[in-house]
Structure 1
Amino acid sequence: MKNNNRHFVRVNLLVGALLATGVAQAATVYEQDGKTVEFNVEGMAGIFSTNENYDGVDNGGNDWQEGYIKGDLVGRQATDNGTIYGGLGLIALGTGGDGDAGGYTGGDEGEVKVENAFIGWQSRTGLFDLSIGRQAFTIGDGFILAGDAISLGDMGISGVDVDRGGAYYLAGQKSFEKTAILKIDLQGPLRSDLFWLQSDNPYHQDTELAGVNLEWVDDTHGTLGLSYMSVLDVDQGAGFGLWDQRKGMDVVSLRGQGSAGVENLFLSFEYVDEQGGDTAVKNDANAWYVEGGWTFADLPWSLTLNYRHAEFSGDDSATTDNEAFDPLFFGLTRGFGTWFQGEVASNYAGPANSGNDVDRLELLLQPRDDLTLGMQYWDFGKQDDAGDMSGHEVDMYALWSINDNFVFSPLVGYYTPDGSAVKANQANNDSNLYLQAVLMYFY
């Protein structure tokens, strides 16, 4: 991409690189005779507070803490035919206090586990890159696939085990349990991925899927992508049983993102269609968004304005099909609100990218190179016969790069429920003040 929309791109790179992948830099601990070993550490700690929660009882808000730390060793060995590489990483995570406002954690979670364990080979020319094992995988900007990031805790529901260790908001776990990924780079505008992914996440009912992704990358104008994937298996009845109808579902995605060759312009869109399935009730759902942003580069603090409209189909009770959109493995990739839309709404109150439409207006400012200020206004509506979880939210935040290793991000959110379903979950119609402060470390 050209140097278009400089501030917007810089914010996306900062938040995307740090919050999504976390690999901001790595230290070389060994290098000799074509062999290298690198070590990196990622850690986050946050404190959170709300005036209201969403357990259906009018009992005030929650105060809780989350944290995780993970370290990875990545080794590479150069050969005549390319490079052999591999990685191994552990993560320790947990939640304290009252647990989160959505009730997805209880406040006494803690766990240490393997997060990454993979091996791979990259050809000498870079044409092929094949890897297998436990690792993360993302398509596009994570609208439907951005790693296996949902991390619930002990919810205390009899007969339901969805505990993955907690740290629900920070979502440090992103790796699928088993993967086989072939990346093909023709060293021109065309590149592709062939992938097989197996989740071990009880929330996702151990979903298994496979697919192909094609991308046309133009450094001046942007990227166009087309993806197809099919859900091969689901542990039906496990967890909450939310995704029993995934099995056999076919998913097609068309997307684009870039500047169209216009400096200071940002454009992005995606359309996803979901069809079929192996259950008696077939899927017939879709979702899409359009987004545009402009950076006023000559104004003080490089003001950026961005607008996005998104729609996610809901079930139609008049048909025998399931029209409720399945958001699959969406996640954070390029900043707050992508694709957890609204810090209160998406994370705790609902909705979460199914049966709703969403409008977002965003303002970004950069008073200093190390400081970004943002404000987002959200308007949530309902689609079709989905539960009415409409509402409004305003989020204000800062991203302060303290140094090369530490980033501090305070955030204030104010959420007002409008729909009957979210009022029932909140057990009142009061507005909710939400506070959080997150310290991030990368090495």
Structure 2
Amino acid sequence: MVRHDLRSRGLITGAIMSVVLGCSAVPAVADVSLYEQGGLKVDGAFTGGLSLFTSPGAQFGAGSNTAGSGTARRISGRPSWSELFLHPELKASLTTETAGTFYGDVSGQLTATGGDGDASLYSTTYGHPVLLDIENAYAGWRSGKTLTSLGLEEDALDLSGGRQSFRVGDGFLISNGVNNAGKRGGWWNQSRSAFAQTGIVKASHGPVRGDIFYLQNDSSQQKVQVNLDQAKAKIVGANIEVFGNADQVEGGPARNGATTYGDRKWYAGLTYFNVVNASNDGPFSFGSTSVRSGGTSNYTVTNTVTSNREGMNVLSLHLGGNFIPAVPDFSLYGNYVYESNSRSNSKVDASAWYIEPGYQLSDVLWTPKLSYRYAHFSGDSNPDDDKKTAYDPFFYNSVSRGYGTWFMGEIVGNYIISNSNVNVHMLNFSVNPRDDLKLSVLGYLYNYDKKNQYSNGTATMTSDSLAREIDFVAEWTITENVSLSGAFAAAQSGGGYRQYQKTQGFSGNDDKTWLLGETSVIVKF
């Protein structure tokens, strides 16, 4: 097991290396060819990462605790821990002249968390979890030249099914099919992302891409660690996007925004899905018979973020990139999501949205960039009625456009909020001293959307002030195979969060400055 004590050196290592070294995204690397003859090709790939953390003043002094309100045991006031993942992958494809390309992918993943687990109020990864399991197991077919006689492009149609990842836009709504908590042992790295079951049709022509999809999230630990998993959900939906390809780099491959998100200069799209089946009972129920109002159900506000899913309709509009040719340094990202459910005992009326303009001075030394984001995730002002208005974040992931998406803040975004019942202001300033080095400063201000959501019979919340945070991030691409990242963060609690801790049975010693140092190395072949 990956178990070691980082207490004596963790803060020094985290603080120094976090400021000096870093990289949030692994560069694209060609797979390793294992066999190729005729149209048959077999490739191998490997990704691995090791991350170290230390967090003095965790939870503003309340510390990290074992799960279970009322029976929680304090783990540490300054937890230090590690996360490891190893992900070998095998890919095969058979290209034919008249029947397109058949392909498949299988991969496994080992994840492990050592030390004190993590810095959540109720730790999601304490107990040194280690898990070796299948990540990808899917097969598919691309049309190749079979449809070109109909006026379509090569590989215009792609059909696939099995266990695989799937993302829409920058991952605000659909990106991650698994909750990396509990026995999965990789909360910060978020290295597992595959949906347990998928059936996906992708079609593209020119600047238009369309998807029809069936997805089921991985909720395999729901029965044994229910508070550390989402409600099991099966969704059916469609997505259509129009996009523009980014400029081709001299000597590099042609851009293909239809299949690669990073190849897009801009995009805009519409997504709709229906939850055809979901876990709506027990801790995933929601209604007027809550314990806090004198009832006997398992309902609590904090574990029903993913409740009332069955029958839910979800509509999303999204856009991003550099839309104005005359002003190529200006960028704009945004997303709006509306969730509704009119089923008896499963009513939902919730929403979320964000807007994020940015500007980069590409002709100035170190190409500084400044962006601002406002993100809104609805809360529930009356959780004791029979309608849920707290936003369900569904399947968002951590890094798609860099730090802060969509775990907004290395402290608060990772270990407090779940992208529901919160409004977030973010200011992001970055410079690039070298092509392979990026330095950023991110500031956050968090407020509860509906402070009454967490009040109970013994403690009432009167403040919507959650916290404020500042992150210093460094990202260094050492080689095309190795990247190093780091961050140093500090956060202070607001009156609302101190009141929330009291609703959870914690009181006093809850206004310390919370610090976090983290470093991560990722290797990819």
Out of 304, 307, 329, the position equivalent to 1:264 is 329
Per-residue CA deviations over 1:238-285 (Å, capped at 9, x if unaligned) read 685542311111100011112122211111111100001545141000
The answer as to 2:177 corresponding to 1:148 is yes
Instruction: Verify the 8 A CA contact 1:149 1:331 in the aligned structure 2.
Output: no
1:58 Cα deviation from its structure 2 partner: 9.9
| SS of aligned partner of 1:386 | helix
Out of 181, 184, 189, the position equivalent to 2:203 is 184
The answer as to 2:179 corresponding to 1:97 is no
Question: Judging changes above 3 Å, is the alpha-carbon distance between structure 1 residues 58 and 198 closer, same or farther for their aligned structure 2 residues?
Answer: closer
Q: Which structure 1 residue ranges, 4+ long, deviate > 6 Å from structure 2?
A: none
The answer as to 2:204 corresponding to 1:198 is no
Instruction: Verify the 8 A CA contact 1:356 1:386 in the aligned structure 2.
Output: no
1:184 Cα deviation from its structure 2 partner: 0.6
Distance 2:477 2:511 in 1: 37
Out of 181, 186, 190, the position equivalent to 1:171 is 190
1:369 Cα deviation from its structure 2 partner: 1.2
Out of 39, 62, 77, the position equivalent to 2:44 is 39
Per-residue CA deviations over 1:339-374 (Å, capped at 9, x if unaligned) read 1111110111x2221111101000111101111111
Q: Taking structure 2 as the reference length, what is the TM-score of the superposition?
A: 0.75
Distance 2:178 2:487 in 1: 21
Report 1:400-419 matches (<5 A).
400-419=476-495
1:23 Cα deviation from its structure 2 partner: 6.2
Q: Taking structure 1 as the reference length, what is the TM-score of the superposition?
A: 0.89
Quick check: 355-364 or 211-220, which moved more?
Answer: 211-220
Instruction: Verify the 8 A CA contact 2:177 2:216 in the aligned structure 1.
Output: no
Out of 276, 296, 307, the position equivalent to 2:372 is 307
Aligned positions, number: 414
Distance 1:424 1:383 in 2: 14
Q: In the alignment, residue 202 of structure 2 is paired with which amino acid?
A: K
1:316 Cα deviation from its structure 2 partner: 2.6
Distance 2:468 2:172 in 1: 21
The answer as to 2:77 corresponding to 1:69 is no
Out of 58, 67, 77, the position equivalent to 1:60 is 77
Instruction: Verify the 8 A CA contact 2:209 2:242 in the aligned structure 1.
Output: yes
Partner of residue 340, structure 1: 407
The answer as to 2:72 corresponding to 1:28 is no
Distance 1:216 1:351 in 2: 32
Identity of aligned residues (%): 31
Partner of residue 365, structure 1: 431
Structure 2 gap ranges (5+):
1-22, 66-73, 145-153, 223-228, 247-264, 285-302, 455-463
Q: In the alignment, residue 521 of structure 2 is paired with which amino acid?
A: L
1:423 Cα deviation from its structure 2 partner: 5.8
Instruction: Verify the 8 A CA contact 1:66 1:167 in the aligned structure 2.
Output: yes
1:167 Cα deviation from its structure 2 partner: 1.3
Question: Judging changes above 3 Å, is the alpha-carbon distance between structure 1 residues 149 and 362 closer, same or farther for their aligned structure 2 residues?
Answer: farther
Q: In the alignment, residue 226 of structure 1 is paired with which amino acid?
A: L
Out of 274, 277, 295, the position equivalent to 2:360 is 295
Q: In the alignment, residue 222 of structure 1 is paired with which amino acid?
A: W
Quick check: 235-244 or 432-441, which moved more?
Answer: 235-244
Structure with the higher fraction of residues in strand conformation:
1
Q: In the alignment, residue 53 of structure 2 is paired with which amino acid?
A: F
Q: In the alignment, residue 419 of structure 2 is paired with which amino acid?
A: N
Instruction: Verify the 8 A CA contact 1:51 1:432 in the aligned structure 2.
Output: yes
| SS of aligned partner of 1:302 | coil
The answer as to 2:284 corresponding to 1:208 is no
1:226 Cα deviation from its structure 2 partner: 0.1
Question: Judging changes above 3 Å, is the alpha-carbon distance between structure 1 residues 347 and 389 closer, same or farther for their aligned structure 2 residues?
Answer: farther
Report 1:370-389 matches (<5 A).
370-384=436-450, 385-387=452-454, 388=464
Distance 1:26 1:238 in 2: 43
Per-residue CA deviations over 1:402-428 (Å, capped at 9, x if unaligned) read 112111111101011104335654751
Distance 1:433 1:300 in 2: 32
Q: In the alignment, residue 118 of structure 1 is paired with which amino acid?
A: Y
Structure 1 gap ranges (5+):
1-13, 154-162
Instruction: Verify the 8 A CA contact 1:70 1:90 in the aligned structure 2.
Output: yes
Partner of residue 15, structure 2: none
